[in-house]
Structure 1
Amino acid sequence: MATIGVCISAALSQVFRQDMVSAASRKLKRNPLLKPFAVSTEQPSTAATATATETRSFVKKKSSSDEGAERIRRVDVEESENEEGKRKSLKDYFDEAKEMIRSDGGQPRWFSPLECGSHSPDSPLLLYLPGLDGVGLGLTMHHQRLAKIFNVCCLHIPVKDRTSFTGLVKLIEQKVRSENSHLPKRPIYLVAESLGACLALAVAARNPDIDLVMILANPATSFSKSVLQQTIPLLGLMPDQVTSLSCMLSLMTGDPLKIVMHNVVKGLSLQPTVEELSQNLVTMSSYLPVLADILPKETLLWKLELLQSASAYANARLHAVKAETLILCSGKDQLLPSQEEGQRLCRALPKCQTRMFENSGHFLFMEDGVDLVTIIKGASFYRRGKNLDYVSDFVPPTTPEFNKVHKDISWMSAVTSPVMLSTSEDGKIVRGLSGIPSEGPVLFVGYHMLLGLEVIPMIPQFMLERNILLRGIAHPMLFFNKPQGRPRDLGGFDTVRLMGAVPVSAKNFYRLMSSKSHVLLYPGGVREALHRKGEEYKLFWPEQSEFVRMAARFGAKIIPFGAVGEDDIAELFLDYNDQMKIPYFKSWIEKITAESISLRTDASGEVANQQMHWPYALPKVPGRFYYFFGKPIETEATSFSKSQLLPLILKLLPDQVPLSLSYILKFNGRLQILAMIQLEVDSSELDNSSTAGSAL
């Protein structure tokens, strides 16, 4: 039931490790997913409108006449190639900041960037709270994408303004309460960095009854541990420009040499990386006067004193913060110990997660390799209502996002050279996925190989070949921590969530079926993926039917499928039974199992055995994965039980698989694949498919 393979893939490839994006990464093949469109906007404080155009979506809208059904809304954030190339840069930040501070004066105020006027009418409000610079343009590189799914509003603090920290808190609090009274059923996002993060924490502590979602980059709550804490008296003795420029340059550059070496190790061309860094340094040197205008000596000293009071205020009220929080921590922050502070806040706040960015500096949102929208989607932090709806709130992956995922898992396809066979409605077996129905709802029912690694090449292939996004039914451990349990780092599972997986539940399955999705289901779940020695290709299915009847209610097509290859190219040498005999492994298994959310507590048999562990295996010889998708089973006006479904799977899988793939099947209380005795592949077929793998 759990898509364990995608989980393992995410942990191994670390898809969301943030670094500088090279020119080579922009040349990936474009995947034709969704077309861009704009929707009419509705803002409480500003009147901005845009036209709406028709678009395709993985999840279609349901008719409003359907009884008891909610209207499924989709916002397509797909960017065209032209839009992708127009993403703003550091130069744009300086140009816009220069214009904004030219006649700067008055009190702190809110503004909405011009490029953020086109968003969905039901988009939640996003309030950006700036850091030390106070300009309010810290999300310049992200405005275009954020505008598709948020109503963006930014706080500008004039250079000469001297509003106290409590004064700024009251200003933000007034805005939050006003917007909440206008749209009480929608969350309000507080995206903040450094000083702004302290402001957000203070507002959240003072308003625990308001639905707030905080995304905090390098919070200044650790200011007492910063070197600037001890150097404030010395800054007053330094020349004005030296003080501000040295501080700003150290914050914004990060670690250029480290970035260059990292790109060389990855096999990228050195010249584009050096050119990019040189261009950034030239750009920054040409805008030194702007930096001096943003943070003159008096303003810098005032901001540092403001940070000191802000940090103390926020830390004293952490116990009152109830808001959902995502903390982004930079590894090369030269101002604050951000990674250490992120872990501390994660332990102190009840609904908190962290994401680490090892090669980033203090101004995280100014770096090319950071995409805030992708981070929010990967962490499952985007919602339009009181609670997250994994179906209606899901935003499909864009072409750049999919290309990034596909690139990072390409090693799996290169090693396994997957061959996929499908069956059309007339019973003809074809090479590829042309036999898969385009229209949903479709339910794919299969079994896990070891660790569920068969999922890794399968889901991207569906998108590349058929433009179909498989929505996996996954274990809850991939989405949230157990209540009252020790916080776990969920960042390794961002790929799973980005690609549309949902936690297993009857409610989520119902919503997927009602939205006509293509759903991937593994009834064997964890027990099947983490099998023991001698259990190769053995199915661990529940005694009672679970989701088949619901699928039949929506007239879904059920496609049974099987995969072979992995259990024949790897040999277990340390399984669960072996590890339970070793005290160290036994204690670890008991600990991680206790921290995981239990499923099927009312079930019996091996399927209810949800012991979490990591089986250790040795590779044999280079092999190949084979997938066979059976003929779609029509369920319209039909109800299936387990006893009816298993014979259909038995009937579809054996004896008709091309490439002479044969099975020996035995039904002994449960369906069990005992062995594969023959796998003959025509050499020409093998060469045409891939040269990276070999036949078993």
Structure 2
Amino acid sequence: MGVADMAVRSSEAAVDVAAVMNHPRRVRAIKHMLGAVADGIHPVVDLWRPYIDGVHNLPADGRFLLVGNHTQGGAEAFLTPYAVRRELGVRVRPLADRQFGQMRGLFGDLLAAFGGVVGAPETARELMRHDQTILVFPGGGREIPKFKGEEYTLRWQGRSGFARIAVENGYPIVPVGLVGGDDVYRSMTTRDSAWGRFSEAVSGRFSGRQDMAMPLMRGIGPTLIPRPERMYLRFGTPIDTTTPVGIDASGWADEVKRRTQTSLEQILDDLLSLREADPYRSLSPLGWSRAARP
């Protein structure tokens, strides 16, 4: 689940801020059902054996902004809220890409019940006014498709809105990294290959964004069946966004973004190193007893 840059001008596409905290009855009913499922799914997730570390870093009051990396598998969008709910008992509110957050019908109701809202400044501010736990992926949708050699890299160019909103509201940031999702599919082409250039041209033609180009991928063998990969999730140390006395707020927001990105990149590097020695990496039952644990 991606997120549009929260620096987007508020004059673009109006957002129903009142609906952020006040869902219609049908959405509340779906929310109740999803909550019941989430509370009873622990045994199933445990069988999947995800590696989850750093939950002690989560502020107990639930008032924080989670900043993570997107992967091709998308597990981060579900495993992160799951881990937070299991540890603190609170619901995470993902900031969804504008094109998804404004969808109507059943999909829109499901997204709203899951907690997703349009990733715009006004909705983020509304959630922060209510001390909600928020999840954002600054790379947005463009960080999901990874060409060969781009696995576990952050594509945050020009995306600093999350830091400005956090600084504005004094909201702590908790970096959260996931490793495993970029390996369920293997990219066979680089971005500067003939296919990469062709895909960028097609993406630019139909969506107006060349950064949404798709690589050629495969899962198990030549198919698109996802490869079995263990997921590794780590919550980092919270980053205080309170503006120091005498420091310009805009400059401080840039520094908060830099610290968040540096922390998240370190988390990803550490998880990649940890995974190398894990006999359970490919979800092999033979390595279960020796699977890496926090």
1:568 maps to 2:186: no
The equivalent residue for 1:635 is 241
The equivalent residue for 1:541 is 156
The equivalent residue for 1:618 is 219
For the 8 Å contact 1:417–1:692, the answer to whether it is kept is: no
Q: 1:70-99 deviations in whole A, cap 9, x for unaligned?
A: xxxxxxxxxxxxxxxxxxxxxxxxxxxxxx
For the 8 Å contact 1:416–1:692, the answer to whether it is kept is: no
The equivalent residue for 2:53 is 421
The equivalent residue for 1:495 is 110
The equivalent residue for 2:66 is 444
* Larger Rg, first or second structure (1 or 2): 1
Matched residue of 1:458: which SS? Answer: helix
Offset of residue 635 of structure 1:
2.1
Change (3 A) 1:663 1:462: closer
Which of the pair has the greater relative contact order for Cα pairs under 8 Å at 6+ separation?
Answer: 2
User: How many Å separate the matches in 1 of 2:260 and 2:101?
Assistant: 33
Choose the corresponding residue for 1:578, options 187, 190, 195: 195
Change (3 A) 1:539 1:419: same
Change (3 A) 1:586 1:618: farther
The equivalent residue for 2:137 is 522
Matched residue of 2:143: which SS? Answer: helix
Change (3 A) 1:540 1:648: closer
User: How many Å separate the matches in 2 of 1:526 and 1:565?
Assistant: 18
Change (3 A) 1:492 1:580: farther
Q: How many equivalent pairs are there? A: 261
Change (3 A) 1:472 1:581: same
Change (3 A) 1:453 1:693: farther
The equivalent residue for 2:173 is 558
- Tell me which stretches of 4 or more aligned residues in structure 1 moved more than 6 Å: 405-411, 574-577, 585-589, 692-695
Matched residue of 2:212: which SS? Answer: coil
Offset of residue 611 of structure 1:
2.7
Choose the corresponding residue for 2:257, options 645, 650, 675: 645
Q: 1:33-58 deviations in whole A, cap 9, x for unaligned?
A: xxxxxxxxxxxxxxxxxxxxxxxxxx
Q: Which amino acid aligns with 1:508?
A: T
User: How many Å separate the matches in 1 of 2:79 and 2:33?
Assistant: 18
Offset of residue 437 of structure 1:
1.0
Choose the corresponding residue for 2:20, options 374, 379, 391: 391
For the 8 Å contact 2:70–2:76, the answer to whether it is kept is: yes
The equivalent residue for 2:276 is 679
Task: Give the 5 Å matches for 1:64-463.
Answer: 387=16, 389-394=18-23, 398-404=31-37, 413=45, 416-422=48-54, 433-463=55-85
Superposition TM-score, scaled by structure 2 size: 0.69
The equivalent residue for 1:473 is 95
Offset of residue 560 of structure 1:
1.3
Offset of residue 434 of structure 1:
3.4
User: How many Å separate the matches in 2 of 1:451 and 1:390?
Assistant: 30
Change (3 A) 1:3 1:387: closer
Change (3 A) 1:400 1:613: same
Offset of residue 575 of structure 1:
8.2
Matched residue of 1:401: which SS? Answer: helix
Change (3 A) 1:417 1:452: same
Offset of residue 472 of structure 1:
0.7
Matched residue of 1:516: which SS? Answer: coil
Change (3 A) 1:579 1:445: same
Q: Which amino acid aligns with 1:568?
A: D
User: How many Å separate the matches in 2 of 1:590 and 1:516?
Assistant: 41
Percent of aligned positions with the same letter in both sequences? Answer: 22
Choose between structure 1 and 2: higher helix proportion: 2
1:2 maps to 2:36: no
User: How many Å separate the matches in 1 of 2:170 and 2:211?
Assistant: 31
List runs of 5+ in structure 2 lacking aligned partners: 5-14, 222-226
For the 8 Å contact 1:406–1:460, the answer to whether it is kept is: no
Please tell me the root mean square deviation across aligned C-alpha atoms, in Å.
4.3
User: How many Å separate the matches in 2 of 1:391 and 1:636?
Assistant: 25
The equivalent residue for 1:512 is 127
Matched residue of 2:242: which SS? Answer: coil
For the 8 Å contact 1:441–1:514, the answer to whether it is kept is: no
For the 8 Å contact 1:523–1:542, the answer to whether it is kept is: no
Offset of residue 464 of structure 1:
2.8
Offset of residue 556 of structure 1:
1.1
List runs of 5+ in structure 1 lacking aligned partners: 5-385, 423-432, 482-488, 595-607, 665-674
Offset of residue 460 of structure 1:
2.3
The equivalent residue for 1:124 is none
User: How many Å separate the matches in 2 of 1:530 and 1:453?
Assistant: 14
Offset of residue 676 of structure 1:
4.6
Q: 1:130-151 deviations in whole A, cap 9, x for unaligned?
A: xxxxxxxxxxxxxxxxxxxxxx
